[in-house]
């Protein structure tokens, strides 16, 4: 029966090629616009750490001065070095990491490369386990090396390819700002989207090429490259903001809390810590703590641009308009065939069979619209990639969205065909034959 309905559908569509092409085009335009914007939206709003984002929390304390203070305002998004190192030392979370961005000069020892600058990340040892950063070679440094201010480094796969041709470089020497470091690990290709662990810079850019222990970076006074806010005297030294007791915030702090109960306990710990610091006079402002998981942190920072959200809603509206037009064209097509449908009913076809035949015809339109819509989606994503926004380069159609394109086309076409098919099966054969 299905094969017969399909043959009937193809035969019917061939009889009026212009109307068929118009319906396929209307559906394809709606699918193309919708899938282009939904693909971009999905990339930007996806979970950068599937399965673990609910257990990772970003810590905010409020250590600033009373200047500009207003009760109830959002606390600072960064921590002082004193507070971050205290939280790290007390280790009340299942895992925890402090970090900041940096910049180093790399002096290649071989292969004729000139010195070049590279972005760096200064972090504590749990960074890799906390964010599931995969290692191709070697290992991450450990807490003992943190404490010893060891001159060790983990480098990215891209930097390893550039300096060592992709070979295992564990144990090799790396010269940064004139200081020798031993490479202990090489990351596998890794690019969380967005770069949720540090949203203060390029949110959709590549991760840093060099990762170093934070303690080592301060021991060598390596250059910082992240945001900072100071409210007191730093001695006129550009690096004074990095001193242990500097009145400056510049560090991000993440904590892994594996259960909701652990998160509640940690929140109470942060409240108590803030109260203690306020009572000691270090925090002029009253205790003001935030503890957000990854999803909440992304929403708070409005990672998905407003124009992308608007485009997604507009595209859905455009798809709806295309479906309304398709409904009108299908109604005209099916009702114009009232005589044929009446004859088939008189010859014994049931209403159910008429309904099934009409939906089969609509399904063929949906598949054709999906195929053309896929081509329009690929064209739309190519146009997105020509835009100057950094996230535009990520606009690629993956297997899931490819399947979703055809699924959406089929579901949308069948939804558009329900009313016309229902009207067609209501045709009364006696009336139609009498009028003919």
Average pLDDT of each block of 10 consecutive residues along the chain (436 residues)? 54 66 84 87 83 93 83 89 96 95 90 87 96 95 95 96 92 94 95 89 87 96 89 65 87 95 96 93 90 93 83 86 82 65 60 72 79 87 81 77 80 77 62 47
pLDDT at residue number 428 = 55
| Residue 245 and residue 111 in one domain | yes
Structure tokens given for 379: 């064209």
User: Are 43 and 60 within one domain?
Assistant: no
User: Do 29 and 128 fall within a single domain?
Assistant: no
How many structural domains are present in the chain? 2
Q: What is the pLDDT of residue 121?
A: 96
200 and 325 housed in the same domain: no
Q: Note the pLDDT of residue 432.
A: 44
Are 317 and 269 contained in the same domain? no
Q: Which of 251, 270, 300 is the last residue of a domain?
A: 300
Nearest-angstrom CA–CA distance, 67 and 146: 36
Residues 66 and 215 in one domain: yes
Predicted TM-score (pTM) of the model is 0.78
Q: Is beta strand 179-187 parallel, antiparallel or unpaired with respect to 152-155?
A: parallel
Pairing verdict, β 179-187 and 116-123: unpaired
Domain of 38, in residue numbers:
2-47+304-435
Query: Of 300, 327, 357, which marks where a domain is finished?
Result: 300
Helix/strand/coil for 236: coil
Specify the pLDDT at position 44. 80
Q: Residue 414 has what pLDDT?
A: 78
Residues 6+ apart with CB under 8 A from 135: 128, 154, 185, 186, 187, 188
Statement to judge: residues 185 and 204 lie in one domain = yes
**124 and 27: one domain?**
no
Q: Which two tokens stand for residue 268?
A: 């109470």
User: Within this chain, do residues 289 and 313 fall inside the same structural domain, yes or no?
Assistant: no
From 280, 300, 320, the end of a domain falls on: 300
Asked whether residue 79 falls in the same domain as residue 7, the answer is no
- Give yes or no: residues 110 and 18 share one domain: no
- Alpha-carbon distances of 5 from 72, 137, 288, 363, rounded to whole Å: 66, 58, 67, 11
Instruction: Report the pLDDT value the prediction gives residue 431, as an integer from 0 to 100.
Output: 47
pLDDT at 220: 94
Token pair 């945001």 in the structure block, residue? 227
pLDDT of residue 434: 47
Query: Residue 185: what pLDDT?
Result: 96
Q: Do 211 and 120 contact (CB within 8 A), yes or no?
A: yes
Furthest-apart CA pair in the chain: how many Å?
Answer: 101
Q: Using the structure block, give the residue that is written with the tokens 């790396």.
A: 174
Same domain, 170 and 200: yes
pLDDT of residue 12: 58
Centroid of chain to Cα 163? 30
């Amino acid at each position: 029966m299905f094969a017969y309905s399909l043959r009937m559908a193809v035969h019917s569509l061939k009889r009026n090629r212009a109307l068929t092409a118009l319906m396929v085009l209307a559906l394809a335009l709606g699918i193309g616009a919708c899938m282009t914007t939904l693909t971009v939206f999905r990339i930007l709003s996806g979970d950068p750490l599937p399965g673990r984002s609910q257990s990772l929390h970003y810590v905010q304390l409020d250590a600033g001065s009373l200047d500009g203070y207003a009760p109830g305002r959002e606390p600072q998004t960064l921590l002082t070095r004193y507070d971050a190192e205290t939280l790290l030392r007390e280790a009340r979370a299942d895992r925890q990491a402090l970090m900041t961005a940096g910049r180093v000069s790399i002096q290649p020892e071989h292969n004729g490369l000139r010195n070049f600058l590279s972005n760096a990340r200064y972090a504590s040892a749990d960074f890799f386990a906390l964010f599931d950063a995969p290692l191709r070679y070697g290992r991450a440094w450990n807490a003992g090396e943190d404490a010893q201010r060891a001159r060790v480094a983990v480098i990215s796969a891209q930097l390893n390819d550039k300096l060592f041709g992709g070979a295992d470089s564990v144990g090799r020497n790396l010269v940064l700002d004139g200081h020798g470091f031993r490479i202990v690990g090489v990351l596998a290709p890794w690019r969380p989207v967005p770069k949720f662990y540090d949203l203060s810079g390029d949110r959709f850019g590549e991760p840093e090429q060099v990762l170093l222990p934070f303690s080592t970076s301060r021991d060598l006074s390596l250059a910082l490259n992240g945001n900072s806010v100071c409210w007191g005297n730093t001695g006129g030294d550009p690096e004074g903001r990095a001193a242990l007791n500097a009145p400056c915030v510049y560090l991000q702090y993440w904590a892994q809390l594996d259960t909701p109960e652990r998160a509640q306990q940690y929140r109470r710990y942060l409240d108590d810590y803030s109260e203690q610091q306020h009572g000691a006079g270090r925090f002029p402002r009253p205790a003001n703590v935030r503890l957000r998981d990854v999803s909440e942190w992304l929403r708070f920072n409005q990672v998905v641009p407003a124009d992308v959200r608007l485009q997604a809603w507009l595209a859905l509206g455009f798809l709806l308009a295309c479906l309304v037009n398709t409904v009108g064209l299908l109604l005209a097509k099916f009702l114009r065939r009232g005589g044929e449908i009446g004859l088939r009913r008189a010859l014994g076809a049931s209403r159910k069979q008429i309904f099934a035949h009409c939906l089969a015809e609509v399904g063929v339109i949906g598949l054709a619209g999906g195929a053309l819509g896929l081509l329009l989606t690929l064209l739309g994503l190519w146009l997105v990639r020509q835009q100057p926004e950094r996230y535009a380069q990520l606009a690629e159609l993956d297997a899931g969205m490819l399947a979703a394109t055809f699924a959406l086309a089929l579901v949308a076409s069948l939804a558009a065909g329900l009313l016309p098919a229902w009207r067609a099966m209501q045709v009364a054969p006696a009336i139609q034959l009498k009028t003919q």
